[in-house]
Structure formats: C-alpha cells, structure tokens
Structure 1
C-alpha cells in the first residue's frame, strides 16, 4: 500500500519547508481537526487573542526574514502564516492581509471552510452559519482575490492530488512575488490522504526573470549615467527589505550619495561613506541631483512628503523585484541582479567623489526637565545595538524615528503606505517569535503610541503567553497627536482613555517566572537614569516603558508638513 499523509499535515509540512515554524490564528469550527496535525508536522500553534492580531503577527513573522541578521546568521522565515475560520474569522484578519499585500510581505492565509457538500448545496433557503444568509458561498474568496497574489480553493478540485499541487504552486508564488496568498480547505478534506511522494518533491523557489545580456547592458548604461552625472543620488525605499536589496544598497552607499525614505530606515548603515540620512522632503542636494536611483520604490504620499520628493521620470532609475524602470521604460529583469552587475561595473571604475552637505549633529538636550519628541528620539539612539529589530508605530513614532541613529544591521519596520493603527504591537509579537524559532540575533524593540496600543492591546497577552522577549516604549501623549495636528487640536475625538500602562502585564497574567520590567518616565532625568541601567538593555522578557509627553508635541521638523496636510484635508471637505 502506498504511503500517505493527511492534507492538513501536508499543508503544515510545506510551511516548515519555508522555515515557518509557527502558525498564528484563532481556532474555528471549520478547521479544528487540522490543528491536531500542527505538532506532528513540527510546527507550533500560536492561539492569538483575535484574528486581526494573528494577521499582523504573521506579517511580522515574515518580516523577520528580511533583516540582514536573518540572512547573515541563519535562514530566516520565507513566509508567515495564519489559519482562520470561514467568513467571520477571515474577515477579521483581512485588514492585516491587505496591509501585507500593500507592503509586499509574503503571508500564507489558510482558511477552513464548510464541507464540499455544503459548497455544492448551499442556498438561501438553508443558509450555513458564518455566511451572509443568501446562499453566496464564494463572496469571501472573491474579496481575498483582490488582496492576494494567488489562491488555491480546495473545493474546486475533484482530486486531492491536484489540489495539493495547486497549493504548492501558490506557495511558490507567495515567495517569488513576495505577496500574501489565500488557501481555503473544506473541513471534510483536512484528513484526506495525499500520496507521500508528492511531499517528497521540494518546492521550486528559483527566481523568475531573464538573465544575461539584458542585465549587463542595463548595468553598463546606468553606470555610465552615474559617472557622467554632476550629482548622482541613491534613494533607498521600503520595498528594499522584502526585495532583498540590502547588501546591494549598502555597497552602493560607499560609492555614491545615499539617502532613504522613512519606510527604509535602518536599511543602510548610518556609517556608510556617502550616507545622507532620512529624507523628510526635498533637500538642496536632492534638488540638484541629475540621476536618481530608487531601490525598492514604494513612493507613497506619507513616504515622500506628499510626492514632493519623487524625482522626474527622465532622471530616475527604479529597481523593483522583477523589473527595472529607466527613463520611463520598464525592463522585465530582476532588480537585484541589475544592482549586482551595476556594482561590478562601478567597482572597476569608481565615479568621481561628490562633495556632500554637512550632516547636522544630534543635539544632546538631556538637561531639559520634560521629555519632548525632539529630545526623545535622538536619545533613543543610545539604546540600540546591531541586529536589533525596531518597530515604529504609525503616528509620532514613525515621524520621530527619523531622528534616531540606527546601528549596523538594524532592521526597522515602519509602515508608510498601509499605516494601519495598532499594527505594530502584534507585529512585534510575530518578529520576536521568529527570532526565537530560528535563532536570529538581536532584540525586538517597539515604539508605540498610546492610541495604537489600545487598538490591539490583546497582543500583549499573546507575548506573555509565549514568554517572548519584547521591549516596548509607549509614547503616552493622551491621544492621537498626529491627528490633532491635522484637525481638532483640542477635540475630544482625538483623546484616548488614560490607562495605567505599567500594570497591563499583571492584568494579562504575566507569570512569576517571566521577567517583567514596567516603569513610567516623565522627565529627561528619569529617562537618562533608566537608560543607564543594564536591565533595560538585556532584551530579556517584557519591558514596558510608559513615556509621558505633552499631548500637542510633535517633532519640530514635522510641524510644517503636518500643517500643510491639515490644510489639504480641509480643502477636500
């Protein structure tokens, strides 16, 4: 008799093949039987407080594989994964999955569905729970098609062998395109037997795209443009992380002037020979640049100072995952390959050195009694170490973090297009878990606003349940300060309830054998004293620092842009 393996175990073992050792989610009736196969497949089940947190955590888990540390010290996860139930579960997670699509994060969303018979016989007369009551069973999968790059719907296949082969192809698309995918499995197929020989065939993960003379010609053309330019400029953008361009952009930063947009903070070593810093808008050098390379372009409004920092088409070269655009012409070749060949071209004949603008030193204002945004973010530079993963939540952390100096090999997670409130706390859970699962070095440090924290605070219970190592600085400024500057500085709708943040670990049941540090700081003296203690630097257990700031305070350099954004908002009303 031929050896077989249940479908559910097949699903999980393929994830393990992609270095995903944990699956996030919330148990649901349509896939409970699948969870019996998690441990036998060598994976861990992370039962989250809700599906939205599970989606954000799976996103964070996948991002851990995009750090330099993951590539240098070990094999990081190629995907994150979550399992939810049909309808109510998958819709609770859809916000997170859509964010993964927007920011090119490879996440596998598994969904347990009603049986094959139900798919065939469903009607408005006999509606099934978790449906809309009108007989439409495919409505949720149709939604998923808009926010995933590939889908496998097991109920569409008569033979289970064909279904699992389609699943393999979907996983390959997830990795090669660095986008989320959707896989739905009826409850009566979870334990259907699959020939073991199918599982013995490894997934095909070779990169797609042309190789050869096209890349060489492009690289020579770009190198010549750089050598003849008066002021060449490399801008590193947020998709450099998932597109695996970090080694190349760091090498280029030692050859030509280099800056980054906010979503790419940490991607380039701040000690690079030609490092200019993080762009908050056009600069004198930016305006004078006559050829601009953009690696991993995201180019969203929040990332480019409302598009004012995007160079003209004729002056730029865009390096994407599977294409390079030069002077408005798109070439279907891998951006990483062209960058590698460009480095080879430039190494043999380096461009003429370009005088760089003087970098402004970070001011030490620790003598101030109150903690301000401008002082806080520059002070946090002293906390960071190589191989740390730093998460900057949307709002003032995303803005203020641009004044922080990031050490070598620091990974920064900063959303600049999806910008979903509450994303970063559960993402920190996923990142810390991936670091532990795969032995990746460095701490997980989250800078979170009080408003964001309150949206997904349940993720803290997931961190505690798994006894993960996470350091959290909560910017406690009594509400949505970013929004205050857009509209309603004193408005009640921009306030959030006053929580006792140093007590939340106790509320969520932190056990006595799990180290917890919880402290409130209100003055620079208290903050500096805290940073002088070894306990805040060791990265062990859970650390919560409640940083009290003024409700209206934002970084000084952000005020003009926020005023403009507020004015633009009012013109649209």
Structure 2
C-alpha cells in the first residue's frame, strides 16, 4: 500500500496543524520569529490569525486565558528577550494546568558552531567564563525544562528533516493531553524548508497516549472506587481542577446519581452550582460556609477526583488536631494526575505505600481515565438512593448582609452572588483581595471561571481576559465576560487595555480601587508605603489613553456605595458594544473576613 505524502514548508505545516486546535496565535514579533510569522499569512484569518499583544508576558497570559475556554492555545516569541519575558506566564500555565504551546524563534542552526570572539550574536548570553569562547545557543532552552511537559528543537544539523513532522505533532499532542505548556524551538533559517508529510489526525485524547499498564491500573482504581460507591450510604465527589474540563459529563453524572458533589476553588465552574446536590466549595480547613460540616456529617465515602493538592485547594495544618482527626478517620480516596491514594496518609512514605498497593497506586494512574471508566461502568441500580438535603444551599449567598452603604469586600460577595453574575457568564478574577470572598459566592448555572490561585501572579487576569474574549469570538459563543480586577494587580499588565479597543472586545471590568496591595497589607505593614501603589491613577480616563480617545468603544463609571452601583446598567443597549469599566472605591484597610481567617490560621 502506497502512503501518500504532501510536500509543504515547515512554516506552513506548523500553522496548518495549529489551525486544527486553535484559531488565534498570540505574541510579539521579533527578528528571530519573523520568517516563521510570514507563513501565518498563507492562511485565511477564519482558519488562524495573529493577535498582537503589547509584550510577551501579556501575550502569555492572554494565551493562558484562551486555553481555559478553547482547551489549547499558542504563543509566539523571539529568542532570549522575548521568551524570557514570557517565562513567568508559562510558569503560571504550568502550575495551573493550561495547554499553552510556546513557539520560540531562535538563532540559525549554522550559527551554533561558529568560531569564537567575532561571531557573538545579540539576544544571547556571553560565556560565563572565558569571554572568547563560543556562546551557548541552547542556554535558554535549558531554562524551559522545569516549566514544560514537552519541548522540541527543530534542527538541520544532521541534514535529516524526516523527524520534523513527528516533532511538531508530538509537542502539540502532549500539550493538549497533559494540560501543561510545551515548547517548540524553531531556528530562524528553516521555516522555508520543505518536508514530506503524511496528514493524519492529531491524537488529542489521554486514551490514545496511555500505556497498557496505565490503562490497566486506572481501570483497577476505578473498579475499587465503584465498589466503594455500591457499599456506601451517602457517597460524595469532590471535583478538583485536573478534570475540570469534563463539565458536561460530570453534570450529567451528578444529575443522574444524585450524589453529593463539591468543587475546590481551582475547579469552580466544573459543576452546575444550582444542582440541589451541590454543597459548596471544599478546601478542607476552609471553603464556603458550612461545607466541611456537611461533608463530615453526611458523607461516609468521599472520592476526591482530579486531585491537585496544594495549600490553596486543600488547606491543611498538622497543628490542627481536629483537621488531622477527621481526615485520618475519613474514607477518602484521592485520584490525581499520576497516582491514587486510598485513605489519608500524613507524611506519605512512597516506598512503604508501594508495598501496600491497596493504599497507594503510584505513577501509572490517570484521573481522566479513571473518570471515564467510572462513567462507562457504573451500575445505577446498585448505587445507594441518596435523598436531597432539605437545606440545598451549603453556603448562603446572602448570609444576612444587605448590600447598602459603602462598598466592602464582605458585602461585595453578596452583590456578586445575587446581582453581578448571571447564567452563562465567564468570570475572570485576578489574584486580589476579593479572591478570598469568592468561595462564598454561589455561581449561577453554566458559569465558566478563569483564575490562577495557586501560582498567584498578580496582573494575570487583565490580559487573560483578552484571551478569553478572543476564544469566545473564535468559538462563536455570545457570553458575557466579567473581570474582577484590583488596582495594584492591574498596574502590572495595564497595556493590554488597548487590545480590548483594537479587537472590539467588550468585557465588563469591575476595578477594585483600594489604593494598594491589600493582601500584603493584611499580612504585614498595613501603613508602610511599600503596600501603597505608586500614585492614584485616573481609571476613568484609561481607555482614552489606550486607544479610545473619543470614547466610542468604551465607557467608565466610578462608585463608592451600593446605591450608586445599583444605578449602573452594564447591559444597557447603548453600551452593549463597548468595554465597560466600573471603578469600585473601597477603604484601603477593608479586608475580607475570609482573608483574616486564613492569615490567623497560619500564625
């Protein structure tokens, strides 16, 4: 049988493959990626297009936001100065499990082995010792290893280009399947070279990449979990971030089984929070009001699925005896990216656990495969009949507070639950003081939540919102985008306000202005000037500065009380096609009560 091949340039092949998983490419042009970028314009914009950003850090955050909705995104930067600027955003994507491909245009392969002294090139570090020695053209490639799941360096060194297609396909597939960023390094002199390719479908599911032992072990774990469910009286599932994208399947499962279900704060939006069997945001020690009490009182078997345990999603203190006691006695199972643990074992001894395989399954388990097995194999006739809890809300979206008078964090969470958010919204929030109140905000149905609470890099959300809005346009989805941003964080990445104007993006931005870094104030030095922002900016004029001089594409409001806020109609027909900024004035010493609680627990 003859295998038909297609002759295509490397540059064209890259964008042809990318067009199968994304419609937008974010980035900043630079001298080492320009030849590659020219190939993007061989495709119609409907297939794939360039989205310009003001700097590489912002481009990385925008790509991250795009991936949250689309499932994959791409960022292109240039050698050294560009790729290093983007590295913080790629680290964010790695920590928060986003599928972002970072393509870097690097130096020409023929420059790698040039002789010394007179051939040093710009953007590249000089030798650490002996300045007359060769520069290391792969010095930046080494830095990317710890924040990527896969990296490929295209090369003509051997004169063999037969592996190029495999390299390009592999990094796209790995980024997609592993939900972590990857790198594709492309020398500046190879984009025009032609290769013979066989156009076959990309393999974009975990099952297509699973080994036999991974499949067998994951199926065994799923079988043990199913047996636990059949023997339980009132089982519960805590859905964590590693299976967050399986929203449709999870909601159908919980509607049919009636099992109690919870999310972590990193997986908000994975479950429809209007379901009567949804009981809140679980973060162990904290979470939404009453959630832990319900879990301990009602649920005899707990399946923590898609586990991504960290101090944000699973707050744990070995000094808290009550915390240690309930976990030790709980019938709780954790299933993560590459392990399953039956029972809570403090200070896990992996070697000892491996000798007791009924307690711990290391390395060859995947939570996505386990979920698929559970959904495919569960016998609904054998599961316990779970009654709906009379009080269906595990946390009260009002908890007795009226949204009147001056705006405060605690009241703002009530306003967000009852007024700000609507069904089908996409909520983006920065790592700001209000994050600590979000656990008490009950989401309407079909909310998509985009944040970065574990890496917690302030300034992420504003450019991420650019990516979110672009993804919605590419996916042809008409959904409101709500950004909750703070003044201190916004200063980090403010330039991307111009992208909203350039591309006609229309999010609703709630800018919390409390004159500085509130989380840091609460931790230390509340009156120190290091917790003050540089100067008070005039947020009402920002869009005029960043490209909307006549106010045709934007509008801004400034309020201090809920009465003033209530008079603003952000869905007004007149402003429908504008980006809207609502500046909320809060006292600089107004701290969310949940922030105080979290800090007190750390003392």
Q: What TM-score does the superposition give when structure 2 sets the normalisation length?
A: 0.84
Taking structure 1 as reference, are residues 122 and 175 closer, same or farther at Cα in structure 2, changes over 3 Å only? farther
Q: 1:444-463 counterparts in 2 under 5 A?
A: 444-463=481-500
> CA offsets per residue over residues 246-272 of structure 1, 9 Å max, x none?
522662375222222211222211121
CA–CA distance in 2 between the matches of 1:479 and 1:227?
Answer: 53
Deviation at residue 428 of structure 1 after TM alignment? 0.6
Taking structure 1 as reference, are residues 467 and 299 closer, same or farther at Cα in structure 2, changes over 3 Å only? same
Q: 1:90-489 counterparts in 2 under 5 A?
A: 90-121=83-114, 123=116, 126-134=119-127, 135-155=135-155, 158-195=159-196, 197-198=197-198, 200-207=199-206, 208-209=209-210, 210=212, 217-229=220-232, 232-242=235-245, 244=246, 247-248=249-250, 251-252=253-254, 255-279=258-282, 281-282=284-285, 283-288=292-297, 289-306=299-316, 311-312=327-328, 315-321=331-337, 324-327=340-343, 328-330=359-361, 332-343=364-375, 344-345=377-378, 347-353=380-386, 356=389, 358=391, 359-363=394-398, 365-366=401-402, 368-381=404-417, 382-489=419-526
Partner of residue 289, structure 2: none
Partner of residue 33, structure 1: 35
Partner of residue 578, structure 2: 541
CA–CA distance in 1 between the matches of 2:390 and 2:181?
Answer: 41
> CA offsets per residue over residues 28-77 of structure 1, 9 Å max, x none?
00111222221213421112100000011111111112xxxxxxxxxxxx
Q: Is the 8 A contact 1:471 1:539 kept in 2?
A: no
Taking structure 1 as reference, are residues 313 and 438 closer, same or farther at Cα in structure 2, changes over 3 Å only? farther
Structure 1 unmatched runs, 5+: 66-77, 568-573
CA–CA distance in 1 between the matches of 2:316 and 2:173?
Answer: 35
Taking structure 1 as reference, are residues 138 and 33 closer, same or farther at Cα in structure 2, changes over 3 Å only? same
Q: 1:41-52 counterparts in 2 under 5 A?
A: 41-42=43-44, 43-52=48-57
Q: What TM-score does the superposition give when structure 1 sets the normalisation length?
A: 0.88
> CA offsets per residue over residues 410-431 of structure 1, 9 Å max, x none?
1111222111111111111001
SS in 2 for 1:336: helix
Q: Is the 8 A contact 1:258 1:276 kept in 2?
A: yes
> CA offsets per residue over residues 337-379 of structure 1, 9 Å max, x none?
4334434525223324367484353326445310011111221
CA–CA distance in 1 between the matches of 2:79 and 2:497?
Answer: 26
CA–CA distance in 2 between the matches of 1:122 and 1:250?
Answer: 64
Match of 2:12 among 5, 9, 13: 9
Structure 2 unmatched runs, 5+: 128-134, 286-291, 344-358
Which deviates further from its counterpart, 39-48 or 84-93?
A: 39-48
Q: Is the 8 A contact 2:279 2:395 kept in 1?
A: no
CA–CA distance in 1 between the matches of 2:459 and 2:171?
Answer: 29
CA–CA distance in 2 between the matches of 1:122 and 1:278?
Answer: 60
Q: Is the 8 A contact 1:255 1:350 kept in 2?
A: no
Partner of residue 64, structure 1: 69
Partner of residue 53, structure 1: 58
CA–CA distance in 1 between the matches of 2:51 and 2:253?
Answer: 38
> CA offsets per residue over residues 190-213 of structure 1, 9 Å max, x none?
111223x43x33323343335987
Q: Is the 8 A contact 1:530 1:536 kept in 2?
A: no
SS in 1 for 2:189: helix
Taking structure 1 as reference, are residues 441 and 347 closer, same or farther at Cα in structure 2, changes over 3 Å only? farther
Partner of residue 72, structure 1: none
Number of equivalent positions:
548
CA–CA distance in 1 between the matches of 2:104 and 2:328?
Answer: 44
Deviation at residue 233 of structure 1 after TM alignment? 2.8
